Amino acid sequence: MIKNICEKINATVLAGTDQMDREVNGVYICDLLSWVMSHAKKGDAWITVMSHANVIAVASLLDLGCIIVPEDIQMDEDALKKAAEENIPVLSTSMNAYDIAIELNKLGLGQ
């Protein structure tokens, strides 16, 4: 669940606060939109440094579980508005992508 992820990686919820009980099934890390579209799976937590509205569009299209932005990267305001409209949880953490993946693996994700 999103709330378990938030606790594990000390994340701030930037959008989708009403989605804290949403299930997450796996983890995908990538920064190339076309690659994510062809490889990520429904319900995945997507770790990406990208912060624009196209990220939200891809997450919505694939019905991803959430987007996680590492290293305190600021998400574009238009993207956050779109995420709220689409009910896509967006999480931010100071951790880097590698450390996030390790912690999510401890939750049983990404296996």
| C-alpha–C-alpha distance, residues 12 and 91, integer Å | 6
Per-residue pLDDT, 87: 94
Could you list the pLDDT tens digit for every one of the 111 residues in the chain? 999 999 999 999 999 999 999 999 999 999 999 999 999 999 999 999 999 999 999 999 999 999 999 999 999 999 999 999 999 999 999 999 999 999 999 999 965
Residue keyed to tokens 């993207």: 79
Per-residue pLDDT, 111: 54
What type of residue is 101?
A
Per-residue pLDDT, 65: 97
Per-residue pLDDT, 16: 92
Rounded to 5 degrees, φ, ψ at 90 are -120, 125
Answer whether CATH 3.40.640.10 is correct for domain 2-106.
Answer: no
Using the 8-state DSSP alphabet, how is residue 17 labeled? G
Question: How far, rounded to the nearest angstrom, does the alpha carbon of residue 57 sit from its chain's CA centroid?
Answer: 13
- Tokens encoding 14: 């930037």
Q: What is the pTM of this model?
A: 0.95
Is 6 in contact with 101 (CB distance < 8 Å)?
Answer: no
| C-alpha–C-alpha distance, residues 58 and 68, integer Å | 14
| C-alpha–C-alpha distance, residues 99 and 35, integer Å | 22
